[in-house]
Structure 1
Amino acid sequence: MPKVGVAVFLLNGSKVLLGKRLSAIGHSTFALPGGHLEFGESFEECAEREVKEETGLEIDKAEYLTVTNNIISEKVHVVCIFVRAVLADVNQKPETLEPEKCAGWDWVVWCTKLLL
């Protein structure tokens, strides 16, 4: 049975928040904050919850972008919903609240134009 994940392009001007993964899948690669959709949650609610759980950040203006269908192995199938959001307060700083899953969060230059 596929799992449903939500990944968040959290934007701060021309930067996006990325974390270095420590899990078996994608170890040492960079990833967006996010996680699995819980029963009854909207994509936006999941995005808000997961960003808060992983980084301590409050987000605003979460909106659906696209979806991908990822068959990672014979046993792992994830449908990933991508959303875009901005910080509710630009003075917030990300924290590494799940150090067993993420080595730390950094703002990385995404583009030279503001996306929102």
Structure 2
Amino acid sequence: MEKGVPRVGVVVFLLNGKAVLLGRRRSSISDSTFALPGGHLEFGESFEECAARELKEETGLDIDKVEYLTVTNTLFLEEPKPSHYVTIFMRAFLADPNQAPQNLEPQKCDGWDWYDWDNLPKPLFRPLEKMVQEGYNPFPIG
């Protein structure tokens, strides 16, 4: 990656009851932190398309009702490879509630699991941790 060029990531709050899907990262950025599934936005792709594609590539899961939630702007200056990410946060639900996540990219993730929103694992990936600390709630109201 060229120094000084921001990247765009799209991540998915995949919700199941009061739980969210998280995986432990294996990455040059924030290795061993728990993060939402997602990845880089590709040229010409909508946020919804990217969310569905990345989730399918990483977990094998199909999703429904994909919608935009919020965006963060994060600098990772202390990392071995400093970077700047604009992260688009989406929300989605399982198309088939009986489908279980698979770890289809073991070189990038140690595995996926459901975590209760009120009892998230630590350490969280910094953009997600910041949202949690600010009281953000990805669950629909009502």
Give the TM-score normalised by structure 2.
Answer: 0.77
Aligned residues: CA RMSD: 1.5
CA distance in 1, matches of 2:98, 2:14: 14
Asked if 1:115 is matched to 2:139, the reply is yes
> Are 2:88 and 1:81 equivalent residues in the alignment?
yes
CA distance in 2, matches of 1:110, 1:75: 30
Q: Which runs of 4+ in 1 moved over 6 A?
A: none
Q: Which runs of 5+ in 1 are unaligned?
A: none
Which is bigger in relative contact order (C-alpha 8 A, separation at least 6)?
1
Deviations 1:45-72 (A, max 9, x none): 0000000000000011110000001111
Structure 2: how far apart are the matches of 1:103 and 1:35? 16
Identify, as 1 or 2, the structure richer in strand.
1
In the alignment, what sits opposite 1:5?
9
Code of the residue aligned with 2:87 in structure 1: it is C
Q: How many pairs are equivalent?
A: 114
Identity of aligned residues (%): 68
What pairs with 1:1-116 in structure 2 (closer than 5 Å)? 1-73=5-77, 75-111=82-118, 115-116=139-140
